Structure 1
Amino acid sequence: MPTNDVPRDSDLSEERNTLFDYTDTIFADEDLLEIGHLPAPERIVGRDEHMQKVADALNPAIFGSAPSHLFVFGKTGTGKTLISRSVTEMLQTEADREGVTVQYAFIDCGEKNTEASVVKRVAQSLNDPERTEFTVPERGLATGDYYERLWTVLDTCTDVAIVILDEIDMLEDDEVLRKLSRASENRRIDSARIGVIGISNKIDYPDQMSERVKSSFSRDELVFPPYDANQLGEILENRRDAFHDGVLTDDAIPLAAALAAQEHGDARKAIDILRNAGRIAKRVDEETVTEDHIRQAKEKTEVDRLAELIDGSPLQAKVLLYALTKLTTNNDGVEFTSREIYHAYTRTAAAIDLDALSERRTRELLQEQDFLNVIDSTKESRGRGEGVTGKHRLLESPDIVLEVLLRDDRLEPLEE
């Protein structure tokens, strides 16, 4: 028989582990500050015109007709993905009132970048196994077999499917665009219709598409400009209820918006700053989020963002960025030509016994870093018949870029 000294299960369940904090005096609902959070339409700021243009492209789907395909361009944090998803979800509601079934599949092409993986994920997202009487397995089928299942899923489970391809420029093969856009014409599907929304930071992505796709994939195009400080401030105000009443000081949101607007007008960055400021205040057991917390959060946000972009880069790209960072630190200017950066890069590579790449290849690496928003690259004409010169500058403080780069042990000898 158990003694009275042995705790019962009910007693154990009521005990609290002292390692954890069970109160949160800063955040009321921190999920509102997550990047993936989809706000209600009335909370979306500064994008009325863009929402209308996306809605115009998708509008035929309300009546079961094929929507227009759409490419959406803009820098990171300008609302491209938010608007595409939000309008598509509103479309579903309106179509349902007309007795039309609209479904959508959201694909991150940074993760699913092959033709087979995209088709598989679309089919998995839209499939209702009770109606199709099959599943879409993770592996084991050829690409053609995944297409066959997708066509059946579309005709069985939906009237109109919207396929949102985020970071579409990361696709290894754009053939999936041709097949999706011509599925009805080629009688792959009978009653269903498909619309594609491609989202990219690269406005020149259409120039890189294969000729077969260019000739068959007709679409509208829409460019999202950066947010200004006032718009960023309004976006953050609409997330104020992530915090308990009275936690944010009067200058917290205006400062976070102003700091984010100084660079790219990036709403993601503004939201990250506000969330990190709250976490900093919570960690040091403060009751309010102040201007000082915002400034600390900005630096943390920059480091986190750069780390995400740079950590996975090859060593050669890091050495090239290191060279540009040192040029920026040691010179009065902030913008340098491709040739200047290349000479600094070759010296840096030699210092760690790394074989230097060709100048042409380093120009390609600089273009990749421009695409990632690590640097800003421009082209300047040298005069009639003289061609153009590429110029490049860091988009973050050299100290912050250096801090992230030196996390790679292979670059440590450069600071000795």
Structure 2
Amino acid sequence: MARRNDPVENASALGDAFSARNGVFSDKALLDVGYVPGPEHIVARNEEIRRLATALNPAISGAAPSNVFLYGKTGTGKSLCARYTTRRIVDAAAEEKVDVGCVVVDCSQDNTETRAVRATVRGLNDPEVTDLTIPETGLGRSRYYSLLWEVLDARFDVAFVVLDEIDCLDGTDFLMQLSRATEAKKLDRCSVGIVGISNKVRYRDRLEERVKSSLQEREIMFTPYDREALREIIRSRLAAFDGGVLDEDVISECASLAAEEHGDARKAINLLRHSGELAASEEADRITVDHVHRAKNVAEQDRMRELIDGATIQQKATLLAVTSLALVEKTRTFKTPEVYAAYEDICGESGLETLSKRRVHDLLREWEFLEVLEITRTGGGRARGSYLQHRLLEDPSVIRSGFDGSDRFAGVGFSAGEVTTTWSNI
């Protein structure tokens, strides 16, 4: 008899996992996060595109465009519309013999001034035109700026700098440099238009007055997609599947679940992809609503487990404090003193050092940035002042599942019965 670790037996048992499966997907790349659909598949954003194109339109004739900030929750089409609109403007300008360039900077990665200016100049440079080589390391910030001005004047009449997740950018000096480049006579020929993209509607409030004055930006809000818009977005990706595997009820269920929770197109598409993967793993001929529901639970748990695994021990403790309150108190919204008291209890049970209220507040803000929490300031009424409310955006039972396997917090904050509580029962 072959042993359990026999290579031949293992290869046979694992064979199906490494072989191509047919019957569900025909072009899975259409479901990737980075996939940019054609204009015929951009749904429910005509007005936002029109307003953005109007602000950037002067570039077509070589004039300076307006700066524009796009605000809205994740998955509402901000980046998609920015890339589509700037590409259309670049193409239209080329027909008028006007040189317009565009670079997209991911500020979640290039989050310092030096990294941002380096990414910008490297994205806009063409060594064959400028005879310049931009190294990834070894230069100071001022030298990268000098190269940026040189590249811009050498190549373009107008350049768009799209700053995605601009709220991650450390400081505002880069914005100041870009917005005042012409006024400060850093540029002779080229004009720069800034397109900032942020999930944080109040990002502008963080800017200094001199930066606001320099930018003079227009603002465009992207509201969450409704159910019908999400249904159309999903339909635009049907070519990812083999014919006949998707029923209309599956499309409607994906759209309904996404619309009820967040109106996030990315999550709706990911849910559809996970449903297809689950059906493929079961060698099913069709994707069903049951696949959708099971895929939703798995996707939520995986996402939360990744967030928790990447958090510090103190971040975990603050999130566990809010989660334990939600499961025990049967609500999702709590005042700061309630959260801090639960945090102190968790530190006491787990032997963790207790941080100050200010530091715990900072850690809770980090969970807000990850859209696990929502923190708002609420008036307490006459003579009662104002206070902060912390609302848990995620299902607490899903968050709790992300702590499974954590030795430090095993059983902390919950009795055996409470651990198995699910939000659907609350």
TM-score normalized by structure 2? 0.90
- Give 1:390's match in structure 2, choosing from 363, 388, 391: 388
- Residue 213 of structure 1 is matched in structure 2 by 211
How do 1:221-370 residues align onto structure 2 when only pairs under 5 Å count?
221-370=219-368
What is the distance in 2 between the residues matched to 1:329 and 1:19? 38
Give the distance between the partners of 2:177 and 2:54, measured in 1 at CA. 23
In structure 2, the residue matched to 1:167 is 165
Find the residue that maps to 1:410 and give its secondary structure: coil
The 8 Å contact of residues 157 and 190 in structure 2, kept in 1 or not, is answered as: yes
Distance apart, 1:409 and its partner CA: 4.1
Q: Structure 2 counterpart of 1:171, which letter? A: L
State the one-letter code of the partner of 1:252. V
Question: Which structure 2 residues correspond to residues 101-250 of structure 1 after superposition, within 5 A?
Answer: 101-250=99-248
- The alignment's C-alpha RMSD in Å is 1.8
**3-state DSSP of counterpart to 1:57:** helix
* TM-score, length of structure 1 as denominator length: 0.92
How far did 1:174 drift?
A: 1.4
- SS of the equivalent of 2:409 reads helix
Q: 1:18 deviation in Å?
A: 7.8
Q: Secondary structure, in 3 states, of the residue corresponding to 1:262?
A: helix
Partner of 1:92: 90
In structure 2, the CA distance between the partners of 1:339 and 1:27, relative to structure 1 (3 Å rule), is same
CA separation in 1, counterparts of 2:208 and 2:374? Answer: 27
Distance 2:399 2:203 in 1: 28
Cα distance in structure 1, aligned partners of 2:69 and 2:137: 30
The one-letter code of the counterpart of 2:74 is: T
Distance (Å, rounded) in 1 between the aligned partners of 2:152 and 2:302: 40
Q: Is the 8 A contact 2:149 2:187 kept in 1?
A: yes
* Cα distance in 1 between the residues matched to 2:86 and 2:394: 35
Match of 2:42 in 1: 44
What secondary structure sits across from 1:295 in the alignment? helix
Identify which range, 323-332 or 170-179, moves more after superposition.
323-332
Separation (CA, whole Å) in 1 of partners of 2:354 and 2:314: 8
Q: Is the 8 A contact 2:121 2:134 kept in 1?
A: yes
2:165 partner amino acid: E
In the aligned structure 1, how far is the partner of 2:379 from the partner of 2:16?
65
1:202 partner SS: coil
| Residue 199 of structure 1, CA deviation | 0.8
**Partner residue of 2:72 out of 71, 74, 81:** 74
| Paired letter, 1:293 | H
Conserved? CA contact 2:153–2:190, under 8 Å: yes
Q: Distance between the aligned counterparts of 2:391 and 2:184, measured in 1?
A: 48
Deviation at 1:130, TM superposition (A): 0.9
| Aligned-partner Cα distance in 1 for 2:177–2:300 | 40
- 1:378 aligns to what SS in structure 2? strand
- Indicate the percent of aligned positions where both proteins have the same amino acid: 44
Deviation at 1:23, TM superposition (A): 4.1
2:179 counterpart letter in structure 1 = S
Deviation at 1:308, TM superposition (A): 4.4
* Distance in 1 of aligned mates of 2:247 and 2:175: 49
- Distance of aligned partners of 1:306 and 1:148 in 2 relative to their CA distance in 1, 3 Å threshold: same
Give the SS at the match of 2:97.
Answer: coil
One-letter amino acid matched to 1:278:
G
* Counterpart AA for 1:44: I
Q: CA deviation at 1:41?
A: 1.1
Secondary structure of the residue aligned to 1:26 is coil
Distance 1:309 1:212, change over 3 A: farther
SS in 1 for 2:340: helix
Match of 1:14 in 2: none
* Range moving further from structure 2, 390-399 or 406-415: 406-415
- Write the distance in 2 (CA, Å) between the matches of 1:302 and 1:319: 20
User: What residue identity is the alignment partner of 2:213?
Assistant: S
1:140 shift after superposition = 0.6
Residue identity in the other structure for 1:181: S
1:251 counterpart SS class: helix
* 3-state SS, counterpart of residue 103 of structure 1: strand
Contact 2:21 2:280 in 1 (8 A): no
Post-superposition Cα deviations, 1:24-71, rounded to whole Å, max 9, x if no partner, equal: 321111111111111111111111111111111111111111111111
